[in-house]
């Protein structure tokens, strides 16, 4: 993944971008959330909010995953039920 160029920002926000570049989304979100709670400037707060928005998981994906898990559970239970009554 290519690293993006960003202007000089606060150290916690730089750490959040480094974590995101390294693939640690959870740490990047945690660090960006801390910056949003105590921003040194409005521009830094805006950039931290952008990082949080870019790393958010859409609800539709979560709902689809839950539906797939329930469907898989039903199929396993059906297979167990049918094999017990043969």
DSSP states along 21-84: HHT-HHHHHHHHHHHHHS-SSHHHHHHHHHHHHHTPPPHHHHHHHHHHHHHHHHHHHHHHHHHH
- Mind listing the pLDDT tens digit for each residue in 55-67? 998 999 999 999 9
pLDDT > 70 fraction of the chain, expressed in percent and rounded: 88
pTM, full prediction = 0.65
pLDDT at 84: 83
Positive or negative, the Cα torsion across 23, 14, 50, 1?
A: negative
From the list 22, 24, 1, 15, the residue with the least C-alpha distance to 44 is: 15
Mean pLDDT of 54-82: 95
Alpha carbon distance 40, 83 (integer Å):
63
């Amino acid at each position: 993944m290519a690293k993006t160029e960003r202007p000089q920002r606060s150290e916690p926000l730089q750490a959040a971008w480094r974590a995101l570049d390294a693939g640690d989304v959870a740490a990047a979100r945690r660090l960006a959330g801390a910056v949003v709670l105590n921003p040194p400037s409005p521009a830094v707060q805006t950039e931290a909010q952008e990082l949080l928005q870019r790393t958010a998981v859409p609800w539709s994906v979560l709902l689809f995953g839950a539906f797939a898990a329930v469907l898989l559970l039903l199929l396993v239970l059906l297979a167990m039920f049918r094999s017990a009554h043969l």
